[in-house]
Amino acid sequence: MSIVGFNSIYKDGQFTSANVKRFLPVLHRNITCTSGRSLCYADQLIRRKFHSTTFLCDVTPFILSDIGEGITEVTVKEWFVKVGDKVAQFDNICEVQSDKASVTITSRYDGVIAKLHYEVDEIAKVGLPLVDIQVEGGGSVSSSNVADVAPSVNDDEIKENPVLANREKALATPAVRRIAGEHKIELSSVKGTGKGGRVMKEDILAFIGGTSTSKKPEPTVASTLANARYPSQSIQSTISGVDKTVPITGYTKTMVKTMTAANLVPHFVYSDELDVGPLIELRMQLKQPAEKRSIKLTYMPFFIKAISLALSHFPILNSSVNNECTEVTYKARHNIGFALDTSNGLVVPNIKDVQSLQLFDIAAETNRLIEAGRTGSLLPKDVTGGTFSLSNIGSIGGTYMKPVLLVPEVAIGALGRFQKLPRFGKNGAVEESNVMCVSWAADHRIVDGATVARFSNMFKELIENPIELVIR
């Protein structure tokens, strides 16, 4: 169709959908046309017929949305796209690291990446453009241009739907999860080829076509504890002759805030010694049944279960206090966190509603959180809402510790390493014993020493008679 044909349509007023589609390419080819009349017609047509509707391909600023939890800035950890790449809705744009968790940002549009506003490791501000996208068919897209955070299934949905629970363990975009749901496929059975085992669109389509192999369970907990003893990440030498100043970001920034707040709270510490021999034997008996369920059973789930049972008798230790220390809130849920040493720093994910979970359920969730911490894919919900915390520093070394509160929580525990030491047995003879030291710290403004001592005694009784942890 020529520009003359377009002029004819304009004069005759034949503005049908078909004619509009026919003359749009003509306008692009002839935009530098010397015919002032044609350009005038084009301008009048756009003003008259389209008003503020985006014309063909708009370059749209893609705003970083509010991630929640009061987060105002994030660090760009990795770009999954570059300038000139085509993206579709729900495709991954980048991964950002807040001071609480890693978040994957996904696209709202189909289009082409026009500009990246940040380099890797730069700070991106909430409410400002993250990328610019040249949107295809601009008139048909949503007027919202806020960057999407990859949505996650909430805790209630996971509990009610075991298929969703399995899907939650796999790393994947919402689009991939939707395809898996339509074909009733558990993402945990699909081998992911993306970063950190992320299941890509090609992986799920290949699986549907029967060309993918099932993913074998990995020993995530044991390998994580081993890495804690001997970290795989290289430690850069400081003997370079040049000082270097870097910003405090990510999980370390969170630690600055929480430890500064904890320093304002008067702590006291109580320590004791436990015989973990019976626990070692019980775990050995349960390892095989756990492996049949693809669960790696460590000692941590036993400790978390014991804490929850003891908290039921001492609810003051599962509470929080307001800033003025005038009110105490007793928490109904036992959301028990455990410290995790990651390549990005210390983070404390928590297991929700431990009071309602069986031992193997706790173990499965522990495995998921450790794997997510290892791959940098912890979600904000994984690291918020905790009511009691536990440090397993003994997996690296040490006996007695002085744990520091994770405010507004009012109590925290720390476990030392297992040791074989001589102790007096029940008959008075000296014998070899498997011993572990445990230390508790509490907010002395509202918790007294006697309460922590009784709580510790109940925890000790449960660990030294661990069959209770299985049947309750």
Tokens standing for 228? 């804690």
List the end-to-end C-alpha distance of the chain, in Å, as a whole number. Answer: 78
- The DSSP code sequence of 267-322 is EEEEEEEEE-HHHHHHHHHHHHHHHHTT----SHHHHHHHHHHHHTT-GGGGEEE-
Strands 388-391 and 411-415, by their bridges, are: parallel
155-172: string of b/e by CB count within 10 Å (b at 16+)?
Answer: beebeeeeebbebbbbbb
- In the residue annotation, 99 being an active-site residue is answered as no
Tokens standing for 432? 């070899």
Count of helices and strands (H, E) across the chain: 14, 20
- In the residue annotation, 444 being an active-site residue is answered as yes
Cβ–Cβ < 8 Å for 55, 46: yes
Q: Select which of 66, 85, 121, 448 is catalytic.
A: 448
- The DSSP code sequence of 402-462 is -----TTB-EEEEE---EEEEEE-TTS-EEEEEEEEEEEEEETTT--HHHHHHHHHHHHHH
Known catalytic residues are 444, 448
